[in-house]
Structure 1
Amino acid sequence: MTRAIIAIPADTREMDGYVWHASPDQYATAALKAADVLPMIVPAFASDLWGDGDMDAVLNRVDGVMISGARSNVSPTLYGEAENAENGPYDPARDATSLPLIRRSLEHGIPLLAICRGIQELNVALGGTLATEIQDLPGNLDHRRPESDDADVRFGIRQEIFMEPDSCLIGVLGGETAKVNSLHRQAIGELAPGLSVEARTEDGVIEAVTVDGARAFAVGVQWHPEYWAQSDNPSKRLFEAFGDAVRDHAASKRRWNSI
């Protein structure tokens, strides 16, 4: 049987005199090897290039959606604040692609996994806000990545998260606490209507959410499970749960189409 397919929206990057539509390899590799699904990159277009029905055309051809992390931040203009040089860089084409893709995937009941920038996009897409430069807020830990040329050090598992008592992630991750590799300088501010907090760090920063009443798997995490998805048990379990949900959705589509 062929693998189920997921969509991963691209970032835009300027390299060699071109604008590229790109996604980090670690997300695609984790999807393929840990979730056992086939990733396909969706170009990041400005909002005026997306036609009516284009998002549905994408979603009709895939069985799941994964929103990856990125170097850029969600534009604060999307939650009523101003852009500034300290909070950038921004990627407006990524915002114009990911946010409507998130909304439409939830409306379609398509499994969704949103990682790092992805959880922030999920919150903004549903009407929430973001807190920026959280390491400067009183009582907060420094969630930024360690400075190192070694990616294993930058993505090292170093922070403990604590599940909410009724968290569905307790079953997915295998316990009420977990060690994760969270590396970020902004986070969820005002929680969007329709989202429930699943886990926090000891300073109260939201590290995981789920979508209330979602018709399928719909989870956002602030950390980077994709990096250690083949070796770290909680990271692997999260991707396996996502992969199972994607395959279930693909099977239900096949059954529906056979009627």
Structure 2
Amino acid sequence: MPSTHTKPVVLMTMGAQPRNGHPYQVMTHKYITPLVEISGCVPLLVPTCCGAEDLEQYLDLADGVYLSGAGSNIDPALYGQENLTPEKTQDRDRDLFDIPLVRAAIDRGLPLLGICRGMQEINVALGGDIHQKVYSEPGYADHREDSEDSVEDQYGHSHQVSLVPGSWFAELMGEDQIPVNSLHGQGIKTLAKGLAPLAYAEDGLIEAIHAPELPQFTLAVQWHPEWKASENPHSIKLFEAFGAACRERRLQAG
């Protein structure tokens, strides 16, 4: 593990969560720990409740950007749709911070990692859209977790994803297929220009993406590799690759 003073700094944006009548900004431990323990990076937790005015100053401190999952959905108005899931919470402050963050991170050449909601944010930020109810779309499976199951069962392996043959991601994983968990009701519908698939679920839903024309590391996945990442060889490879890209960026920046 690199020494403390040479570790890359990675921005992680927080989300809104009400507690006992007070608004909180939160980030779940499970997203932070693999960034520290496997990627070897320093997380910088960024509040999204105060607008994006200071976005560039945050980016001046960063060697990478990591967009986590969350319980909220992206506001469908941001990708030109009406809200079909009004019962689900939204976090427009995060939407309005993360969308310009994605674009600015790309412009700066920063490594970019997205998980679940983070993957959907990247797609929306670059002009794509999403299925608001994958489970209601013909031909697609229900990718949601069972709320009656224990957390262990919810985050257990749910299905296989097929990795795009010959891709760098398939080479990194060392396999054509890997088992993943599944805890999402939404998924990519139209892939944004400049993005390309890296993995598909058994029903054809896109489960991983990258930006092959960009020079920096870009990866986003629909499953949750952060869950007990140190016990999962595929998650270890994923977070190690992101950490290596962030270290390379730090060295390039001097």
TM-score, with structure 1 as normaliser: 0.92
CA distance in 2 between counterparts of 1:19 and 1:204 reads 38
Aligned partners of 1:167 and 1:199 also within 8 Å: no
Which residue of the other structure, out of 12, 20, 24, is the alignment partner of 1:20?
24
Which residue of the other structure, out of 9, 14, 27, is the alignment partner of 1:10?
14
Equivalent position of 1:80 in the other structure: 80
CA distance in 1 between counterparts of 2:107 and 2:172 reads 24
Please state how far the C-alpha of 1:148 moved relative to its aligned partner.
Answer: 3.9
Equivalent position of 1:66 in the other structure: 66
> In the comparison of the two structures, how many residue pairs are matched?
250
Equivalent position of 1:209 in the other structure: 209
Please state how far the C-alpha of 1:57 moved relative to its aligned partner.
Answer: 1.0
Give the 5 Å matches for 1:158-173. 158-173=158-173
Percent identical pairs in the alignment equals: 35
Give the 5 Å matches for 1:163-242. 163-242=163-242
CA distance in 2 between counterparts of 1:85 and 1:182 reads 19
The one-letter code sitting in structure 2 at the alignment partner of 1:35 is S
Aligned partners of 1:111 and 1:242 also within 8 Å: yes
Give the 5 Å matches for 1:145-156. 145-148=145-148, 150-156=150-156
Q: Which moved more, 1:58-67 or 1:158-167?
A: 158-167
Equivalent position of 1:31 in the other structure: 35
- Secondary structure at the aligned position of 2:152 is classed as helix
1:121 aligns with 2:121: yes
Please state how far the C-alpha of 1:122 moved relative to its aligned partner.
Answer: 0.5
The one-letter code sitting in structure 2 at the alignment partner of 1:250 is R
Deviations along 1:41-68, whole A, 9 cap, x unmatched? 100136xx332xx222111101111000
CA distance in 2 between counterparts of 1:23 and 1:74 reads 17
Give the 5 Å matches for 1:83-98. 83-86=83-86, 88-98=88-98
Please state how far the C-alpha of 1:85 moved relative to its aligned partner.
Answer: 4.4
Give the 5 Å matches for 1:89-108. 89-108=89-108
CA distance in 2 between counterparts of 1:148 and 1:244 reads 38
Equivalent position of 2:140 in the other structure: 140
TM-score, with structure 2 as normaliser: 0.94
Aligned partners of 2:39 and 2:239 also within 8 Å: yes
Deviations along 1:136-160, whole A, 9 cap, x unmatched? 2222112111334532111112210
Which residue of the other structure, out of 38, 43, 52, is the alignment partner of 1:50?
52
Deviations along 1:149-198, whole A, 9 cap, x unmatched? 53211111221000112322112222111111121111001110010011
Aligned partners of 1:45 and 1:96 also within 8 Å: no
The one-letter code sitting in structure 2 at the alignment partner of 1:131 is H
